[in-house]
Amino acid sequence: MDKQTNQRGWLLVLPVVVIVAFSAILPLMTVVNYSVQDTFGNNQFFWNGVGWFSELLDPRSELGARFLEALWRNLLFSAIVLAIEIPLGVLVALAMPRQGWTVAFCLVVMALPLLIPWNVVGTIWQIFGRPDIGLLGYTLNSLGLNYNYVSNDLDAWATVIVMDVWHWTSLVALLCYAGLKSIPDAYYQAAQIDGASRWAVFKAIQLPKMNRVLLIAVLLRFMDSFMIYTEPFVVTGGGPGNSTTFVSIELVKIALGQFDLGKAAALSLVYNLIILIVCWVFYTIMTNAGTERRAKEGVA
Amino acid sequence: MHSIPGRRIIISLFLIFLLLPIYWLVNMSFKTNGEIVATMTLWPHQPTLENYIRIFTDESWYSGYIHSLNYVVINTVISISVALPAAYAFSRYRFLGDKHLFFWLLSNRMAPAAVYALPFFNLYSAIGLFDTPWAVALAHCIFNVPLAVWILEGFVSGVPREIDETAFLDGYSFPRFFIKILVPLIGSGIGVAAFFCFMFSWVELLLARTLTTVNAKPISAIMTRTVSAAGMDWGLLAAAGVLTIIPGALVIWFVRNYIARGFALGRV
Which of A69-73, B175-179, B185-189 bottoms out in mean pLDDT, i.e. has the lowest? B185-189
Strands A45-47, A37-39: pairing kind: antiparallel
Distance from CA of A12 to the nearest CA of B (A): 5
Percent of chain A whose predicted confidence (pLDDT) is above 90: 17
At residue A187, does pLDDT exceed 60? yes
Q: Which residue has the higher pLDDT, A172 or A257?
A: A172
What pLDDT, on the 0 to 100 scale, is given for residue A86?
A: 94
Tell me the average pLDDT across A58-85. Answer: 90
DSSP B46-100: S---HHHHHHHH-HHHHHHHHHHHHHHHHHHHHHHHHHHHHHHHHHHEE-TTHHH
> What gap in Å lies between CA A28 and CA A269, rounded to an integer?
8
Nearest residue on chain B to A115, alpha-carbon basis: B248
Nearest residue on chain A to B264, alpha-carbon basis: A175
Write down how long chain A is.
Answer: 300
Candidates B20, B93, B259; nearest CB to A111:
B259
pLDDT band at A210 (very low <50, low <70, confident <90, very high): confident
Percent of chain B whose predicted confidence (pLDDT) is above 90: 26
CB contact under 8 A, A227 and B264: no
What pLDDT, on the 0 to 100 scale, is given for residue B74?
A: 95
At residue B157, does pLDDT exceed 60? yes
CATH topology of domain A74-272: MetI-like fold (1.10.3720)
Q: Where are the beta strands (DSSP E) in A60-101?
A: none
What pLDDT, on the 0 to 100 scale, is given for residue A300?
A: 43
What pLDDT, on the 0 to 100 scale, is given for residue B1?
A: 44
**What value of ipTM does the predicted structure carry?**
0.84
Contact B147, B121 (CB under 8 A): no
Host H or E run for residue A4: strand A4-5
Average pLDDT, chain A: 85
pLDDT, one tens digit per residue, over B204-254 is 888 888 888 888 888 877 876 665 444 678 888 889 899 999 988 888 888
pLDDT, one tens digit per residue, over B39-50 is 777 888 888 888
What pLDDT, on the 0 to 100 scale, is given for residue B225?
A: 62
Nearest residue on chain A to B1, alpha-carbon basis: A188
Candidates A173, A255, A279; nearest CB to B107:
A279
What pLDDT, on the 0 to 100 scale, is given for residue A225?
A: 92
Nearest residue on chain B to A208, alpha-carbon basis: B268
| Best residue in B115, B125, B136 for a mutation probing chain A (most A CBs within 10 Å) | B115
What pLDDT, on the 0 to 100 scale, is given for residue A293?
A: 67
Q: Structural domain boundaries of chain A? A: 74-272
pLDDT band at B268 (very low <50, low <70, confident <90, very high): very low
Q: Name the 3-class secondary structure at B1.
A: coil
- Which residues contact residue A30 at a Cβ distance below 8 angstroms, ignoring those fewer than 6 apart? B119, B122, B123
Q: Which residue has the higher pLDDT, A287 or B9?
A: B9
Contact A210, B259 (CB under 8 A): no
What pLDDT, on the 0 to 100 scale, is given for residue B228?
A: 47
pLDDT band at A264 (very low <50, low <70, confident <90, very high): confident
Tell me the average pLDDT across A272-295. Answer: 80
pLDDT, one tens digit per residue, over B94-114 is 888 888 888 888 888 888 888
CB contact under 8 A, B107 and A275: yes
- What is the sign of the dihedral through the CA atoms of B131, B132, B133 and B136? negative
Size of interface A-B (CB pairs under 8 A): 308
Tell me the average pLDDT across A46-55. Answer: 79
pLDDT, one tens digit per residue, over A81-104 is 999 999 999 999 999 887 778 888
At residue A114, does pLDDT exceed 80? yes
Ordered by where they begin, the domains of chain B are 1-48 (no CATH), 56-263 (1.10.3720.10)
Tell me the average pLDDT across A158-165. Answer: 94
CB contact under 8 A, B139 and A3: no
At residue B185, does pLDDT exceed 80? yes
What pLDDT, on the 0 to 100 scale, is given for residue B263?
A: 65
> What gap in Å lies between CA B150 and CA A54, rounded to an integer?
37
Tell me the average pLDDT across A278-287. Answer: 83
